[in-house]
A and B are shown apart, each in its own frame.
Chain A
Amino acid sequence: MKKHSKIWVSVIPLYIFTLIFVAGPLIYMIALSFMTRAEVFGVVGEFTLDNYKKIFEPIYLKTFAESLKLAFTSTILIILLGYPYGYFMAKLSSVWKKRMMALLMIPFWTSALIRLYGWIIIFRSNGVLDSVLMGLGITKDPLKLLYTYPAVVVGMVYALLPFMILSVYSSAEKMDWSLVEAARDLGASPMKAFLTVTLKLTLPGLLSGVVLTFVPSMGLFFIADILGGNKVVLVGSIIQEQLTKGRNWPFAAALSVVLMIMTSLIIGIYRKVTNTKDLEGLF
């Protein structure tokens, strides 16, 4: 067909929007992270590395370490819970697959904040969990689980689990199961067949799940906020605090840049290992 130069017009809004409202802010964030904080409020366009140095102050370094630890713990738990789920789901009959997918849609797409609220009801002192446990005579006193570290971990796992499940499922679903049978036929034990065939073929899904859970778990400040009280502080919490209360935007920008770099690194590793561009199971 002849080239229609007019078709260019249709992509102009997307180009403009992408450049101004995605590329622009991201570039500004990077610039901001090298700027100096003004005396009272705002920023001065003076180049400095102080914001990055500040990250290495013990208090923030500790936060980073704690955030990483939480992200790590949550991700491991999410893999342990989500991988079998996605794997088993892929083995269901097609009718049940559809039903299970429909059931996953609500946890996947509804706001994590609202889904988490239920956990407050469960965890709070004399809440649902306490009532059940005390009613059954298992515990005598309220457990006081709300505003503790475990509560935050539960919240993280709960909020991000659907992403892992869908990622693993979509890659296990595409898998050619006859390969597993072939491996078994060739004398591999079930465990060996799983490790050498199944795990290898579902690795893209697993890794895509990690991308979708590991980094976000460092940024979901509201989970730490509502389930951890002020006891658990995440990188995301500091960014939020610096933006709203501390008013040290350059520092918040520097923290965000570090988070961005970590995100890109993990996505980069994912792409390298799986040789694909799009994340598995996102759509």
Chain B
Amino acid sequence: MKNRTKLPNIYLGVILVIMYLPIVLTVFYSFNESKISSIWGGFSLKWYEELMGDRDLKEALRNSLILAALSCSASAVIGTLGAVGMSRIQSKSKGIVEYISTIPIMIPEIILGMVFLAFFSLLGLPFGMTTLVLAHTTFCIPYIFMMVKARLIGMDKSLEEAARDLGASPVRAFFDIVLPLIMPAIASGMLLAFAMSFDDVVISIFVTGPKTNTLPIKIYTKMKTGVTPEINALSTVILVVTVFLLFLSSRIKKKQK
């Protein structure tokens, strides 16, 4: 048995290293003094300084943050209310609406980008922050909805009944009992949604306007033209933000258990 258990571990290790290698290289070369990525020219923060000085990028970062904050808040409200409401109503439309609402995370992103582009121009909406927020909210809703739904299913129904029994009105019971108990699910769903929105490229490219750039769009356009240490630095910034959000999200999830 002994040497049989070793091989799988080596396999897991090797694949893991390959999975992380590109990420580590990206981060590593963002601190490279030299402009040529395969030559190590010593440690430097100059590419980050350059980023700080770039007005366009600052604007893109600002846009990305606003976009992620707005769409994750909007989807939190819609998704939570929806999940709570759906758990209480008996209706045939329920299953259908639930199915349709999860389509955005089931189909390839490009189709979503395409349909939003076509639909928004049909509606005559001005392309820019508005269309970005609408599109991102749509694909963020399922994350929150599913997290809250799972939590509600796991929640003991008699807790709410106990509150009603002790004199709480339905609204009071919701705010005293249900909301605090689903809060971790909402929070981790929101962080996930924020991360998804913050680093989305495909959908953003289609629904953004000529004047509105987000950080990932900036990176994509730069990447097409070649490799520069600036992209490394930019990617590192996005990675750090995403990883931080993921970390928070999983911390909250763990606490909930």
Contacts and interface: CB of A to CB of B under 8 A. Distances in A.
Interface string A251-283: 011001001100100010000000000010011
B38 A130 contact: yes
A161 B106 CA distance: 17
Contacts, number: 235
B243 A13 contact: no
Contacts of A94: none
A116 B22 contact: yes
B37 A121 contact: yes
A28 B220 contact: no
Most buried by A among B16, B110, B135, B243: B110
Nearest to A13: B78
Interface stretch (A49-57, A100-108, A173-181, A198-206): A100-108
A115 B23 contact: yes
Contact of A117 (B16, B108, B192, B235): B235
Given A7-B88, A17-B78, A267 B106 contact: yes
A10 B108 contact: no
> For chain B, what secondary structure do more than half of its interface residues adopt (helix, strand, loop), or is it mixed?
helix
B115 A28 contact: yes
B237 to A, nearest CB: 10
Interface string A111-139: 10111111111101011101100000000
A267 B122 CA distance: 30
A243 B85 CA distance: 38
A182 interface: no
Interface string B102-117: 0111111111001111
A24 interface: yes
Nearest to B243: A106
B101 interface: yes
A105 B250 contact: yes
Contacts of A158: 18-19, 22
B118 to A, nearest CB: 6
Contacts of A131: 38
B2 to A, nearest CB: 14
Contact of B12 (A85, A126, A283): A85
Contacts of A79: none
B138 interface: yes
Contacts of B145: 14
Interface stretch (B43-51, B54-62, B195-203): B195-203
A233 interface: no
Q: Size class of B's contact patch?
A: 35 or more
Interface residues of A, number: 81
B137 interface: yes
A222 B202 contact: yes
Interface in B194-245: 195-196, 199-202, 206, 216, 219-220, 223-224, 227, 231-232, 235, 238-239, 242-243
Given A113-B220, A219-B108, A11 B202 contact: no
Interface in A35-82: 81
Contact of A14 (B21, B23, B97, B201): B97
B35 interface: no
Given A10-B84, A109-B242, A114-B235, A103 B16 contact: yes
Nearest to A28: B119
B77 interface: yes
B25 A111 contact: no
A102 to B, nearest CB: 7
Contacts of B176: none
Nearest to A101: B250
Contact of A28 (B21, B109, B122): B122
Contacts of A107: 19-20, 23
Interface of B: 8-9, 11-12, 15-16, 18-26, 29, 37-38, 77-79, 81-82, 84-86, 88-89, 93, 97, 100-101, 103-111, 114-119, 122, 134-135, 137-138, 141, 145-147, 150, 161, 164, 170, 192, 195-196, 199-202, 206, 216, 219-220, 223-224, 227, 231-232, 235, 238-239, 242-243, 246, 250
Given A91-B8, A114-B199, 19 more contacts: A10-B82, A14-B145, A22-B101, A26-B115, A29-B118, A106-B242, A109-B246, A110-B243, A113-B199, A113-B216, A121-B26, A131-B38, A219-B108, A219-B111, A220-B108, A225-B224, A226-B223, A256-B111, A283-B147
